[in-house]
Amino acid sequence: MGIKVYNSLTRKKEDFVPTAEGRVLMYVCGPTVYALSHIGHARSAVSFDVIYKYLKYKGFKVKYARNYTDVDDKIINRANEEGVGAKDLAERYIKAFDEDMEALRVELPDIRPKATETIGRIIEVTEGLIKRGYAYELDGDVYYSVRLKKDYGKLSGKNIDELESGARVGVDERKKDPLDFALWKSSKPGEPSWDSPWGKGRPGWHIECSAMCMEWLGETIDIHGGGKDLIFPHHENEIAQSEAATGKTPYAKYWLHNGFVNIEREKMSKSLGNILNIRDVLKDHTSEAVRLFLLSSHYRSPIDYSKDSLKDAEAAMDRFYKTVQRIGAEYPDALKIEFCVPCIEDRFQPIFEAMDDDFNTAEVIGIIFKEVNRANRIMDEAKASGKPSGLVDLSCIIFVFREAGKFLGLFTRNPEEYFSEKNSRAALPPEEIERLIKERNDARKNKDFKKSDEIRDGLLQKGIVLEDSPKGTTWSVKG
């Protein structure tokens, strides 16, 4: 059974059949780099990171490009506000975005083009559109004639006669039609600019992605991805100008769009003041808990961020790694497994089926935590019976964790590494916590249980949880 994907262009699930057998060309719209990246950027990046990893896991040779929009009105306006150059501002936030992606364990795409490094191709495509009659020049600006593309609206489902000029479609009385959008903008004083056949200027937003995609992947690709907010006008305009420029259809065979991230059931927006930066989330939660939260809903579905939802994700990751830790302590040989054919042929099939059905990570994660529960049940029953049993089963469970982790970007670390990251956010220095644990242990030896409880409760108020066992006292940060 092959992979099926939901294609936004046809509005249905389809068999995934790349244009060239065994090879996938994938382009995903990246950030406009004028501010720190938010949790919505993380949703898109993590979703397509899993898709990229899974396609490679299934044996496809994938060429994946995700761009940076590094010249744009927002970048110019922010740079002017800060009194810095637009290039310097963009580079600062490219670096910050890359750091955030590394923190979230997002694999680097094969190609990360910048709009400013693709100006030659942008001019070439724009010239071609003018020659083919799809674009026109006005006093140094170049516009695309929307109504000349007879199937305009095929991605978004919008009727061209009902459209009004809206987001990112500037109102300009000189245009032949209010819906026509800018391919090239004449430069204003103090703005970044490049020489062109129409004078000094800079590219419009939509043409940048078409040119970068053509430059690095070709005139037709297999997968084009991004957030649902990009369907109109950005992706609609991208299709129109790309197909008009090359005469080839489809520009992209499959269009995949991830759902929005809502904040406490409200749409995330600047007007509501609820933009949640990735860095702020990672101050309070482990990277793996954030990634688990983002993948616990199907990538096409909206997802609601709340403090409780992240606490639940962190508690789930704690439970997972404590289970692996327990297996390592009670059944160390179970961790030595390298490959298990029966596990792939039997136990892993539900995971394949979920991922092959439009990359359903939510279902996969549900399966993983059923295996976590099963592992603990096996160990509990063995302990209760006094008969060590279940090694083969536990080995298979560990194998399932490791294999799924290869494309989920989860469940692959040593428990010590995970808890070390979590504990690094402690309100007290580790050496101070260890000192208080020693003081508490001394109090317990002296039967001063009042002092012992006071130390424990004081640490708990600071988010430090103590766990006593025959091997001693350990601590962790409360999720």
Looking at residue 56, its pLDDT comes to: 98
Looking at residue 246, its pLDDT comes to: 97
Q: CA–CA separation, 231 vs 164, rounded Å? A: 16
CB 217 within 8 A of CB 65: yes
Strand order in the sheet with 61-66: 61-66, 23-28, 221-227, 252-258
Confidence of residue 166 (pLDDT cuts 50, 70, 90): very low
Is the model's pLDDT at 162 over the cut of 90? no
Which of 38-47, 218-227, 300-309, 456-465 bottoms out in mean pLDDT, i.e. has the lowest? 456-465
Gyration radius of the chain's alpha carbons:
27
Q: What sign does the dihedral 157-159-176-233 (CA atoms) show? A: negative
Which of 65-74, 163-172, 179-188 bottoms out in mean pLDDT, i.e. has the lowest? 163-172
Phi-psi region of 105 (alpha: psi -120 to 50; beta: other; left: phi over 0): left
Looking at residue 451, its pLDDT comes to: 85
Q: CA–CA separation, 81 vs 15, rounded Å? A: 49
**pLDDT above 90 as % of the chain:** 75
**pLDDT above 70 as % of the chain:** 97
Each residue of 188-210: pLDDT tens digit? 998 999 999 999 999 999 999 99
Q: How are beta strands 61-66 and 23-28 bridged, if at all?
A: parallel
Give mean pLDDT, residues 348-358.
Answer: 96
Looking at residue 165, its pLDDT comes to: 42
Is the model's pLDDT at 414 over the cut of 50? yes
Q: CA–CA separation, 381 vs 388, rounded Å? A: 9
Looking at residue 125, its pLDDT comes to: 98
Phi and psi angles of residue 250, each rounded to the nearest 5 degrees, phi first: -80, 155
Distance of CA 387 to the CA centre of its chain: 45
CB 237 within 8 A of CB 205: no
Is the model's pLDDT at 255 over the cut of 50? yes
Confidence of residue 387 (pLDDT cuts 50, 70, 90): confident
DSSP letter string, 238-254: HHHHHHHHH--S-SEEE
Looking at residue 479, its pLDDT comes to: 61
Q: CA–CA separation, 143 vs 129, rounded Å? A: 10
The Cβ of residue 42 has, within 10 Å, a number of other Cβ atoms equal to 25
Each residue of 62-103: pLDDT tens digit? 999 999 999 999 999 999 999 999 999 999 999 999 999 999
Give mean pLDDT, residues 266-271.
Answer: 75
Q: What is the mean pLDDT of the chain?
A: 92
Looking at residue 477, its pLDDT comes to: 81
Each residue of 313-343: pLDDT tens digit? 999 999 999 999 999 999 999 998 877 777 7
Structural domains in the chain plus CATH codes? 19-267 (3.40.50.620), 307-413 (1.20.120), 426-477 (no CATH)
The whole-model pTM stands at 0.90
